[in-house]
Amino acid sequence: STTTTPFPEGFLWGGATAANQIEGAYREGGKGLSVQDVMPRGIVAPRTAEPTPDNLKLEGIDFYHRYADDIALFAEMGFGVYRFSIAWSRIFPNGDDTEPNEEGLAFYDRVLDELEKHGIEPLVTISHYETPLNLAEKYDGWTSRELISFYERYARTLFERYGSRVKYWLTFNEINSLLHAPFMSGGINTPKDELTDAQLYQAMHHELVASARATRIAREVAPDAQVGCMVLSMPIYPLTPAPADAVAVMDADHANLVYGDVHTRGRYPGYFLRTLREKGIELDITDQDREDLLNTVDFVSFSYYMSIAETADPAKKTAGKGNIMGGVPNPTLEASEWGWQIDPVGLRLVLNQFWDRWQKPLFIVENGLGAKDRLVEVDGVKTVVDDYRIAYLNDHLVQVGEALEDGVTVLGYTSWGCIDIVSASTAQLSKRYGFIYVDRNDDGSGSLERYRKKSFDWYAEVIRTNGATL
- Based on CB atoms, which residue is closest to ligand BG6, 202 or 423? 423
Site string for ligand BG6, 239-278 (x = CB under 6 A): ----------------------------------------
Q: Which residues pair with 283 in a beta bridge?
A: none
- Based on CB atoms, which residue is closest to ligand BG6, 295 or 455? 455
Applying CB under 6 A, does 303 fall inside the site for ligand BG6? Answer: yes
Determine whether 366 is an active site residue.
yes
Q: Identify the helix (H) or strand (E) that includes residue 135.
A: helix 133-139
Q: Report in angstroms the alpha-carbon separations of 262 from 209, 293, 296, 342, 411.
A: 10, 7, 8, 29, 21
What is the dihedral sign for C-alpha 179, 180, 183, 186?
negative
Q: What's the rounded Cα separation, in Å, for the pair 442 and 50?
A: 20
Q: Out of 130, 174, 207, 366, which one is annotated catalytic?
A: 366
410-416 and 12-16 strand pairing? parallel
Backbone angles phi, psi at 160, to 5 degrees: -65, -40
**Dihedral, CA atoms, 360, 363, 364, 366, nearest 10 degrees?**
-120
- Based on CB atoms, which residue is closest to ligand BG6, 6 or 370? 370
DSSP 341: B
Contacts with ligand BG6 in 304-343 (CB under 6 A)?
323-324
Applying CB under 6 A, does 424 fall inside the site for ligand BG6? Answer: yes
Binding part of the chain for ligand BG6, among 50-58, 136-144, 189-197, 425-433 by CB under 6 A, reads 425-433
Site string for ligand BG6, 1-40 (x = CB under 6 A): -----------------x----------------------
Candidate list 173, 275, 311, 414; residue touching ligand BG6; CB under 6 A:
173
Distance of CA 371 to the CA centre of its chain: 18
Binding part of the chain for ligand BG6, among 196-204, 285-293, 374-382, 421-429 by CB under 6 A, reads 421-429
Applying CB under 6 A, does 366 fall inside the site for ligand BG6? Answer: yes
Helices (H), 163-224: 182-186, 197-221
Q: On the CB side of 428, how many CA atoms lie within 13 Å of its CA?
A: 13
Applying CB under 6 A, does 171 fall inside the site for ligand BG6? Answer: no
* Chain residues that interact with ligand BG6, rule: CB under 6 A: 18, 129, 173-174, 303, 323-324, 366, 370, 416, 423-426, 431
Active site residues: 366
